[in-house]
Structure formats: C-alpha cells, structure tokens
Structure 1
Amino acid sequence: MSIPFEEIRLRLPHIEVAAHLYGPEDGQPVIALHGWLDNAATFSRLAPLLQGIRIVALDLPGHGHSDHRPAGASYNIWDYAYDVLQTAEQFGWKRFSLLGHSMGAIVSVMLAGAMPERIDRLALIDGVIPYTGEADTAPQKLGDSLQALLAVDGKRKPVYPTFEQAVSARMKGVGAVSHDAAERLAQRGLMPVPGGYTWRTDARLMLPSPMRLSRAHALAFVHRVACPASLVLAHQGLMTQPAMVELSEALPFQLHRLPGGHHLHLDDQAGAETVAAVFNPFFAV
C-alpha cells in the first residue's frame, strides 16, 4: 500500500496528536476527522482523490498514534472541538473546512454550529448528530458511566495472537468494514504486546457516555451551521432508520445517497471514487 502523505506530530497546548498531511501546501485548508475507534487511515483512499485541498487527517486523542487524554479527563464528543481548533491554530488557519466521517462528522457539525465564523465548508460522511437522550434518563446515564469508569483500570483490552485475527475482528466491529479497510485501520491502530497485538485506542473510549445532548440541543447545532454543507449517506450505513432518514431529508445540507456501507469511502476504491465525485465539485465552488 503506497499512499502519498506526510506523517506529522503536533504539540498542542494540552496534548500531542498525530496526523497525515495530503495535498498541496497552498490548497484550501481542510481538517479531516475520523469515526469512533478509527484513525487517520480512514481517509487513506479518499484523501488522495480530493483535488486542490490541503488535508490534515487527525488521529483524534485516544486514537491511532495520538496521545491519550490524562487521567481524570474525559472523551465527551464536544471535547474534540477544542482539539480541532488548536490544530487549526498550529497551521495559522483562521478559517478552514471540515471533512468528517461518522463521529468526525458529528464533531464537525457541532464545531460549525458553535463557531460558524471559523468554518468555510462541511463535507460529511454518514453522520450528523450524536445519539441523544432526554432529561429523565440523565441520572441513570451518569450513574452507569461513573460505575464503568471506576472499573475501567481493571479491564484488559483484547489481545489477538496474530495481525490477521485482529483484522478479522475489526471487520465485524461497529460499522463493519471490508478486509482491506480493516487492514488499513489495523496497520495504524494496532501495537505489539506480549502474546500478540492489541489496539492503541484508550480503553476509556469504550465507556458509556456520562451525558447526552437532548434532541433539541443537537438540532440547535445543525440549524446554526452557516456554511455550505454536503452530506453523503450510505445505502447500508448507520443512518437508515426512519427517524434518521426523516432528519436527513429536512436538513439544510446538500444530500447525496450512495451505494455502500458506513465506511463506503474506505471499503473499496469504487466507493472512494463515488464520494470524491461528490466532494471535488463541492470544494471547487
């Protein structure tokens, strides 16, 4: 696998993160954000196909080669917005666009709604708003999260005797992926340990959320997005439930439904090309 990118590390004020750089240095600035438990390699098929843009594909904290958050810190989805802003500051980008998949798309929408003056364009893949919860469920959610946090240090991440066994496990994970996609994610996401391989991801990422936005909260971010937005939804993706279909059709975004699964931009070259065919004219405007 030969992919034209530059590997970098960025020392942000609060954490050190890793990233892949794609595209010309004078291209439109874009920060690319992967999905939950994935890493920067999720854009390894798509990024080389996108024209005229400078892409910083991050390993979000706790993922890939980026640092884990310190003890006592959390991985609330809105915390990633600060990581993105500090990344932009490293490059001197006062305005920039976001390319997000799944959780990365959700973070992109939240940041664009919170700070519309900073974001030029949103290119989103199979994600818009987080899972929501209402007030009556909040105490139980927080209690479950605190209980899980107390126990997390005693849990051991799975160890796979061979690289291929880890790849097979990732194929069947959340948002099932092709063998090639799983291999790309595993090459960046695994590390050797006694007895085989385990994932670099912070175990705290698997903890239940302590608090969820209400649906009204989540939609408030969507409705405050002021920049052009293009949303790709996969026919076999994670937004096929009737409520999500209804939501996506009501969004003030360009909507494109494409064949493939949740990782259609990574599963195979044809999928990456169909997504690129949507985003290239979107970024060229």
Structure 2
Amino acid sequence: MSGVEEVRLSLGHIELAAHLFGPVDGHPVIALHGWLDNANSFARLAPKLEGLRIVALDLAGHGFSEHRPPGAGYALWDYVHDVLRVAEQMGWERFSLLGHSLGAIVSVVLAGALPERVTRLALIDGVIPPGGEPKDAAERMGMALQAQLALADKRKSVFPTLDLAVQARMKGMVAVSREAAELLAQRGLMPVPGGFSWRSDSRLTLPSPLRLSEEQAMTFVRRIACPAHLIVAADGMLARHTALLEQLPFSQEQLPGGHHLHLNDEAGATLVADCFNRFFAIP
C-alpha cells in the first residue's frame, strides 16, 4: 500500500500496532476495525479519504498488537480506554472516530461517555452492542465463566496452507470476499508447526460476562454531541433492525453490499469513501 506507514504505539499497559494514512496536518481520525479483523480492514477505504490523518489500529488481541495479559479480558470499555491512550500518544485532545462493526460500537461508547473529546463519528454497519435482558444477567455470567475455564484445554486451528486459512476466513461467521480475506490474512496469520494459524487472542471468542440492556446502550447514543453518519450495508447486520435505526439521531445512508462493504471490493470502498468525504467536508 502506497502512502501508509506502519507504527507501534506503546500505551503503558499494552503495545498496539497501527497503520498511519494521510497528511500529517490532516484532520485527526482513529479508525477501529471489527471483531477478529485488523487494521487492514481500512486498506481500501483509508487511501480514498481526503484530508484526514488516520490512525488505523490493530485492536488489542488482533493483528500485530499485543494480547492482554493473563487473567485480563476484552471488555468493551477496555477498548475505549485503549483509544483514549492512543489519542494521548498522538497528542490529540479532540479527534474523530471511524468505526466498523465492533469498532463502530466502541466509537459510540466513547463518543457518548466523553462527548467533548469526539468531533465526528463515521460508522459502518455497527452502532450499539447486542443487548442483554437484565433478568438473564446471572445465567449469562455463569455461561461466560464456564467458557473461560474451558478455554485452557482448547487448541487453535492449524491450516496446512495459506490458501486454506484464507478460505476459512472467507466462510467465517461473516463471509467476506477472497480479496478481503487475503488482506486480513496479511496481518492476521502466523506460521506455526504444521502450517498457519490466526494470531488473534483465543479469548476474543469468549461470550461477554455482562451485557448492557438496550436502554443502557441507548444512553450512549443520546449523549453524543458531534455530527454522526451511519452507513448501513443493504445485506449487512443492521438493515433488518429498522426499529433501532429509526431511533438513532444520526444521518444515515444505505449502500449496496455486505457487512464488509468497505473492504470486499474497490467499488464498495469507493461508495463508502464518497459518502464519508462528503460528511467530513461539511463545515
């Protein structure tokens, strides 16, 4: 990728890898990818965005970033804390967020918790975390604790060839194009005895011990004070949640494509870029 710089950010409690795009004096943006993806999620989109200084992170436990220490987990608010540390490292008091899926959820939580820090919110097919019913809290906690204990005995899948690992990613919980899977594999795969394995932390697949209710999650949405624009993928995860979409005080646009429309092909990345270039250009 031309015009992209690989960096490592030491945040004190963890070291994260990131890609830097755009002019040094551009509008500051932190880009956050989805669950089990990495910074290459923005490999097609970021070079098409104009006038922005983008730090596309590998979130903790993903890509080339460090895993959290033994005994720690991957709660939503820990990602939010990481992003604030990244802003500190970059010397950014105020900044925008560009988030896809899990990254969009982290962005909404941060912009709602500390509205004075965030200047714009650009979201792709993600808004609030999946809700939990308050009455199910104890049962969910028990299930999560059991899964945590069982994880110690599990071994990661090993794929004999790079191609088989890419094919597995193409057919993952959210299907992606071959080109998207290959881009994610560049930062996501590592050689191991017998072939290749995904380098993401196995703890990322554990169920959340605690889920916010939809009512709690919407308090973050309502506290957001900056302009926010949401792209809904026509064949993605949000399109069928019409009741939620109608409640959102954000400008919205539906574009053709699946959940990874910004990464699956150049046409999708161009549509998303055109949309966000207009959004960031509004004074």
TM-score, with length taken from structure 2: 0.98
The corresponding residue for 1:270 is: 267
Partner SS state of residue 41, structure 1? helix
The corresponding residue for 2:96 is: 97
Partner SS state of residue 17, structure 2? strand
Partner SS state of residue 152, structure 2? helix
Displacement of 1:235 after TM fit? 0.4
Determine the C-alpha separation between the residues in 1 that align with 2:263 and 2:60: 21
The corresponding residue for 1:109 is: 108
Displacement of 1:169 after TM fit? 0.5
Structure 1 residue runs without a partner (length 5+) = none
The corresponding residue for 1:7 is: 6
Partner SS state of residue 76, structure 2? coil
The corresponding residue for 1:168 is: 167
Determine the C-alpha separation between the residues in 2 that align with 1:77 and 1:160: 30
Output one character per residue of 1:233-270: Cα deviation in whole Å (capped at 9) or x when no partner: 000001132xx222112211010000000000000000
Structure 2 residue runs without a partner (length 5+) = none
Output one character per residue of 1:193-234: Cα deviation in whole Å (capped at 9) or x when no partner: 000000110000000110100111001100111100000000
Kept in 2: contact 1:3–1:44 (CA 8 A):
no
Determine the C-alpha separation between the residues in 1 that align with 2:60 and 2:242: 31
Kept in 2: contact 1:249–1:255 (CA 8 A):
no
The corresponding residue for 2:41 is: 42
Determine the C-alpha separation between the residues in 2 that align with 1:16 and 1:134: 35
Output one character per residue of 1:59-99: Cα deviation in whole Å (capped at 9) or x when no partner: 00000000000011110112100000000000110000000
For the pair 1:198 / 2:197, whether they are aligned, the reply is yes
TM-score, with length taken from structure 1: 0.98
Output one character per residue of 1:179-206: Cα deviation in whole Å (capped at 9) or x when no partner: 0000000111000000000011000000
Partner SS state of residue 278, structure 1? helix
Partner SS state of residue 68, structure 1? coil
Q: Which runs of 4+ in 1 moved over 2 A?
A: none
Query: Quick one: which amino acid aligns to residue 172 of structure 1?
Result: K
Determine the C-alpha separation between the residues in 1 that align with 2:126 and 2:138: 27
Displacement of 1:3 after TM fit? 3.9
- How many percent of aligned residue pairs carry the same amino acid? 65
Query: Quick one: which amino acid aligns to residue 206 of structure 1?
Result: T
The corresponding residue for 2:80 is: 81
For the pair 1:55 / 2:54, whether they are aligned, the reply is yes
The corresponding residue for 2:252 is: 255
Determine the C-alpha separation between the residues in 2 that align with 1:151 and 1:3: 44
Partner SS state of residue 141, structure 1? helix
Determine the C-alpha separation between the residues in 1 that align with 2:93 and 2:208: 31
Determine the C-alpha separation between the residues in 1 that align with 2:271 and 2:205: 32
Determine the C-alpha separation between the residues in 2 that align with 1:121 and 1:258: 20
Partner SS state of residue 230, structure 2? strand
RMSD: 0.7
Kept in 2: contact 1:7–1:18 (CA 8 A):
yes
Determine the C-alpha separation between the residues in 2 that align with 1:49 and 1:34: 17
Determine the C-alpha separation between the residues in 2 that align with 1:228 and 1:76: 26
Kept in 2: contact 1:124–1:230 (CA 8 A):
yes
Partner SS state of residue 89, structure 2? helix
Determine the C-alpha separation between the residues in 2 that align with 1:75 and 1:99: 20
The corresponding residue for 1:283 is: 280
Determine the C-alpha separation between the residues in 2 that align with 1:192 and 1:4: 27
The corresponding residue for 2:213 is: 214
Determine the C-alpha separation between the residues in 2 that align with 1:27 and 1:283: 11
The corresponding residue for 2:24 is: 25
Determine the C-alpha separation between the residues in 2 that align with 1:247 and 1:54: 31
Work out the number of aligned pairs and report it. 282
Query: Quick one: which amino acid aligns to residue 256 of structure 1?
Result: E
Output one character per residue of 1:14-59: Cα deviation in whole Å (capped at 9) or x when no partner: 1000000000000000000000000000000000000000000000
